[in-house]
Structure 1
Amino acid sequence: MTNSISITADRPLDTTTGAVVPFVGRSLLASIFILSGVAKLGDPAGTIGYIAATGLPLPELGFVLAVAVEVIGGLLLVLGYRTRLVAAGLAAFSIATAVFFHSALGDQNQFIHFFKNLAMAGGLLQVVAFGAGRFSLDARR
């Protein structure tokens, strides 16, 4: 008998692994939002200037909303509170930021950021589809 993890399409993960994996996945997805939001707080003028440079209206309000979505949404995702709704909001935010801030696909850096944001949205949509898992506040309600 071995303690190795076997992942196949026709058999679910064991109980412990199946409970831990969604928590780890949510935490990894949330980390980029939390770190990005905190970084924005470190340079509000730079972030507001970047938002203004895209031509979006009310860059100061955009800054406040972006920080709130990233930090609060990221923390709620880690905690697994109203997870499907939070993940849907973060997915929409990821797609919007890809379109408004990273659509210069001729620039390799922007190309990478654009598709990174779409990939994050894809991962978040998996959370929307399958929920938070056992290690979450949602599971306790």
Structure 2
Amino acid sequence: MITMNPNLNVSLNANSALPAAGRTLIAAIFFISGIGKILAPGATMAYIGSLGLPAPALGLIGALTLELAGAALLVVGYKTRLVALLLAAYAVATALIFHHALADQNQMFHFLKNLAMAGGLLQVVAFGAGAFSLDNRRAPAGRAVA
């Protein structure tokens, strides 16, 4: 048994892997988006600049850092709640900044996708990394991190 809190005992079973699988699936979109930005940095900076945002190169570096580092940390479950909160805020911010033209069906889809991503990430914030995570490994003996 792994004690998650004084009032709840959970044994490792097939469900123990579900949080890790969920974190990996959520991280995939950030990883793929980051790779896309690496492969086409000029297009990314042009898009940022076309919206009148300052310092497109700095925006690209910030997005790359958050997307790639955030995805990696989410997958391994390190500082999971903080990382998930940062990625959720990023998903909402990018929805509002880049996908606010809701009359365009494609932009509406991306806006709602970002909100759904933020919702999934807030579940990670609320319930933690789960059993298969570095956060759990760092927990005191006999106490798993939720």
2:124 is matched with 127
Q: Residue 40 of structure 1 aligns to a residue in which SS?
A: helix
Alignment partner of 1:48 out of 20, 32, 45: 45
Q: Could you tell me the percent identity over the aligned residues?
A: 56
Distance across 2 between alignment mates of 1:117 and 1:17:
29
1:97 is matched with 94
Distance across 2 between alignment mates of 1:108 and 1:17:
39
Deviation of the 1:14 alpha carbon: 6.7
**Runs of 4+ more than 2 Å apart:** 12-15
Structure 2 unaligned residues grouped into runs of 5+: 1-8, 139-146
Alignment partner of 1:60 out of 57, 60, 83: 57
Alignment partner of 2:108 out of 108, 111, 135: 111
1:80 is matched with 77
1:21 is matched with 18
Coordinate RMSD, CA, aligned: 1.4
Deviation of the 1:55 alpha carbon: 1.2
Q: Residue 13 of structure 2 aligns to a residue in which SS?
A: helix
Distance across 2 between alignment mates of 1:13 and 1:28:
23
Distance across 1 between alignment mates of 2:32 and 2:13:
28
Q: Residue 113 of structure 1 aligns to a residue in which SS?
A: helix
The one-letter code of the counterpart of 1:22 is: P
Distance across 2 between alignment mates of 1:101 and 1:42:
20
Higher strand proportion (structure 1 or 2): 2
Structure 1 unaligned residues grouped into runs of 5+: 1-11
With structure 2 as the length reference, what TM-score do the two structures score? 0.86
Deviation of the 1:13 alpha carbon: 8.5
1:69 aligns with 2:33: no
